[in-house]
Amino acid sequence: MRIKINHRINLEIILKLVFLFGFTAFYFITIKENTVSNYVHPRIIPYMCFAIISFLFIALFMVSEIFRIRKKNTQIGRYIIFLLPVLTAFILPPKSIVFSSDKLSNIKSVDRKISKTYEENETDKSTSSEIFSIYSDIIDDKESSIYLEDGKIILNEDNFINWIDELYINSDRYEGNTIELIGFVLKNNEFKQNEFVIARSMMVCCAADTQAIGFLCNYDKASQLEKGSWIKINGEINIIDNDDDRIPLIDIQSIKGVDKPENEFIYPY
């Protein structure tokens, strides 16, 4: 579709400014309202701030072109591709990721997930090197964040990933210990009636790579728990066989409902 410009305003520049201000407003609002965590890792926020500043500078230089008429047809159609993301960004509200049918075999430790990724990409030296570096950073961070508090394992946002790795890799070492953590209820038809997973959403980079990690729990009233509800549990760690692995199972001793954390995600680094 072509529109002949016969007026004093440069329609093409107006369209470019609308899209620039649209993306700028979206970035600014998500950062201000703290909904940005639903989309990307917090370490991406500085880059979004840089993008906001860049968009504003570009718009500033383009403003002077609004009344400069170019003697050519404006191809409106090529700008439609930018219209959909701008509209959906404002029309569709940010939503939390819902894990409705994850299998128990997918609720693994972070080390195992990274190791699997490493094996799949070992032919790509640059990718493998980067993954190995991430894996090493996680391992180096463990010793300072995993320790017993009066003989009890207490998980929080800062040590959740390190503890879950330790408990999956060295599960026999902690059999019989008590554990306390907060997470959301994850259920699947694969589980028994008295079983559920208490999980957290782990984000490596953005929402697209988010996955649930957690522990299988044994609770006689598991059927009464609502999927996705947030709970705080205390229990005892036991070890069971699952396929070819030995995994921790938490026998629930106490459980209570809690509010969803302000930031429901945890990060490996």
List the chain domain ranges.
Answer: 11-91, 101-108+148-266
The residue type found at 88 is T
101-108+148-266 topology per CATH:
OB fold (Dihydrolipoamide Acetyltransferase, E2P) (2.40.50)
pLDDT (0 to 100) of residue 66: 83
Lowest-confidence segment of 39-43, 50-54, 106-110 by average pLDDT = 106-110
Mean local confidence (pLDDT), 186-194: 88
Burial, 79: exposed, middle or buried (Cβ in 10 Å; 0-12, 13-18, 19+)?
middle
Mean local confidence (pLDDT), 44-71: 88
Alpha helical stretches, state H, 146-261: 160-169
Read off the pLDDT of residues 205-215 as tens digits, 9 standing for 90 and up. Answer: 988 888 999 99
Mean local confidence (pLDDT), 31-55: 92
Decide if 193 contacts 208 (C-beta within 8 A): no
For residue 266, give the 3-state DSSP assignment. strand
